[in-house]
């Protein structure tokens, strides 16, 4: 028995905190973008009313939950998946994979291709959500960084890009 020991795996509080803040902000930004941007609104219109999805880190979070209510409005529903009926779960397999994604070292598409994200739900809504998150990233991030996070940087008008960005940041910070 001298060669045997038990170890309680520790935690990574700073990495968790960073991801939690990012998910919180992206969740609110999705809500804002669905109001401000036509393309994001159209993406969410394809989803059924009451549809809810979560994006989080396995096994203990953090998470963000976003859903479409009965009126068709997209709402950030918080960071606690418990007691919520979630139609699509997108689980990043571990905190290191989440860091690669949220420090934009790896684009969402590459992260999915490298099996870093586990999907539990239907594929068409999952792709809709991924496309919407891609548009949100263009709004939130400077071109230099968002080019790393998405497949192809879009050509947008000045008004759509910069006024949209201001409005989305404004709504995200105020939370409506």
Partner 1 sequence: MYKPESYEFFCPIKFSSGSRALENIPFELEALSARKPLIITDKNVTRRGLVRKMITAFKDSGVTIGIFDGIPDVPDMQLVTELSNIYRNGEHDAIIALGCGSIVDVAKVVNIAVSYNVKILRDLAGDNLMAHPLGPFVLVPTLTGTGYETSKFTFIEDLTFSSYFLMPDLVVIDSRTVRSESLQTTVATAMVALAHAAEAYTGPGKNPITDAYAYAAIQYVKDNLITVLTKPRNKEGRLALVNAAGMAGCAFSNMKPGLIHILGEAISAMFHIASGICMGILLPYGLEYTIQKNGYHTYDLLLPLSGFDEYAGTAENLKAEKAVNIMYEMQQDLYKVTGKKIPRTLEEANVPKYMVNDIAEKVFKDGAREFGIDDYRMVLEHAWEGKPMAHS
Binding of residue 7 to partner 1 (CB under 8 A):
yes
Give whole-number Cα distances, 30 to 3, 7, 34, 76, 135, in Å: 52, 40, 6, 8, 9
**Pairing of the two strands 52-57 and 88-92:** parallel
Q: Please, which residue, 46 or 114, has the CB nearer to partner 1?
A: 114
Binding of residue 20 to partner 1 (CB under 8 A):
no
Q: Which of residues 116-135 bind partner 1 (CB under 8 A)?
A: 118
Whole-angstrom distance, CA of residue 113 vs CA of residue 111: 5
Question: In this chain, which stretch among 9-17, 70-78, 124-132, 160-168 interacts with partner 1, using CB under 8 A?
Answer: 9-17
Using CB under 8 A as the binding criterion, the count of chain residues that bind partner 1 stands at 27
Question: In this chain, which stretch among 8-16, 27-35, 137-145, 165-173 interacts with partner 1, using CB under 8 A?
Answer: 8-16
Q: Are the beta carbons of 120 and 83 closer than 8 angstroms?
A: no
Give whole-number Cα distances, 142 to 18, 149, 176, in Å: 19, 11, 23
Q: Which of residues 77-106 bind partner 1 (CB under 8 A)?
A: 91, 93-97, 100
Q: Please, which residue, 60 or 73, has the CB nearer to partner 1?
A: 60
* Closest distance of CB 63 from partner 1, Å: 14
**Pairing of the two strands 74-76 and 88-92:** unpaired
Whole-angstrom distance, CA of residue 6 vs CA of residue 72: 51
The residue ranges that bind partner 1 (CB under 8 A) are: 1-12, 15-16, 58-60, 91, 93-97, 100, 114-115, 118
């Amino acid at each position: 028995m001298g060669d045997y020991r038990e170890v309680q795996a520790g935690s990574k509080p700073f990495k968790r905190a960073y991801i939690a803040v990012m998910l919180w902000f992206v969740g609110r930004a999705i809500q804002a973008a669905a109001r401000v941007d036509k393309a994001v609104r159209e993406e969410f219109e394809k989803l059924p009313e009451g549809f809810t999805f979560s994006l989080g880190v396995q096994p203990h979070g953090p998470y963000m939950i976003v859903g479409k209510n009965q009126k068709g409005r997209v709402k950030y529903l918080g960071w606690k998946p418990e007691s919520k009926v979630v139609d699509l779960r997108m689980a990043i397999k571990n905190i290191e994979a989440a860091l690669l994604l949220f420090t934009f070292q790896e684009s969402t598409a590459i992260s999915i291709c490298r099996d870093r994200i586990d999907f539990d739900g239907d594929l068409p809504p999952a792709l809709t959500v991924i496309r919407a998150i891609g548009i949100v990233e263009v709004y939130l991030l400077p071109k230099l960084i968002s080019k790393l996070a998405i497949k192809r940087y879009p050509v947008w008008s000045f008004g759509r890009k910069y006024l949209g960005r201001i409005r989305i940041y404004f709504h995200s910070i105020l939370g409506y």
